[in-house]
Amino acid sequence: CTDTRAKEEKERAIEALKSRIECGEGGFGNLCFISHSGDFKMRSNVVSEASVSTRVGQWWGAIPFFTASLVILCGAIYAICLLVGYDSFEQVCFNPDLVIFKFEVFRIYTSAVFHISILHLVFNMLALVPIGSGLERILGSVRYLHVLLVVATSNGLLHVVIAYISAHNPIREYSHFMHECGIGFSGIIFAMIVMETSLSAAQSRSIFGLFTVPAKWYAWILLILFQLLVPDVSLLGHLCGILSGFACLLIFTPFCLLSFFFSVYLLY
């Protein structure tokens, strides 16, 4: 009788234990564990983690239309140059002397979308995506496209004027500014940094994640750091980018409208 009763109690305990299992039939790849309450739960042993391609897709999908289009355009131009072996960048770079005396104004725009190396392209595009995305969300896509056109034109105009004045300075001539061959999107990015920082009302900005600086000094500190770290970059091109950004913010109506109509005249 004792053995029978013990056997029955054991069977009842097993049935009670089974009734507390909440993980169902289980199946391949699943296991049950005991929670703090003593109940059985189901936990998948397959960790649900987004793949690299999924994360890249999500990152790319969050980029606004015209900013993404600029990345594609610059990347496609670089890829085509690589495939056909084109490296005559002096034909498309921004050269103030040729813009003034041969009226090769197309260089204002071609110089922005060509890049001389993969690192040059990648660094510029990685800077463009967050700055351009923020500015496009603030302004809206149509106005953002207008601002890009205005900034590219005003940047080129300022570059030509400052280079010409520097080369004909009666105190000390800096004639090399007239013959610089500037290329890349970074000048426009500097103008976008000024505008996006001002319009977003940010109080501080991070420099490469190492330290923060007041937002109003952000573009100037980047200008100095890039010149120290990469001496071959165009100081005048970046400086004109900053100045054109401030000009569009401070005297938007006369300056930017003038640049807009001038750019339309050049394109048509």
Catalytic site residue from 133, 159, 238, 263: 238
Burial call 53-80: b when 16+ CB within 10 Å, e when fewer: eeeeeeeeeebbebbbebbeebeebbee
Segment holding 213, helix H or strand E: strand 211-214
Catalytic site residue from 111, 133, 186, 244: 186
Query: Does the active-site annotation cover 186?
Result: yes
Paired with 164 in beta bridges are none
Using DSSP, how many helices (H) and how many strands (E) does the chain show?
Answer: 11, 4
Q: Are strands 211-214 and 204-207 parallel, antiparallel or unpaired?
A: antiparallel
CA distance 219 to 237: 13
**Closest by Cα among 199, 227, 231 to 132:** 199
Residue 111 CB partners (closer than 8 Å, separation 6+): 92, 93, 94, 182, 183, 184
Q: How many CB atoms lie within 10 A of CB 266?
A: 14
CA distance 133 to 127: 10
Query: Does the active-site annotation cover 204?
Result: no
> Which pair of structure tokens corresponds to residue 126?
């990685």
Residue 9: C-alpha distances to residues 3, 6, 168 (Å):
10, 5, 105
Residues designated catalytic: 186, 238
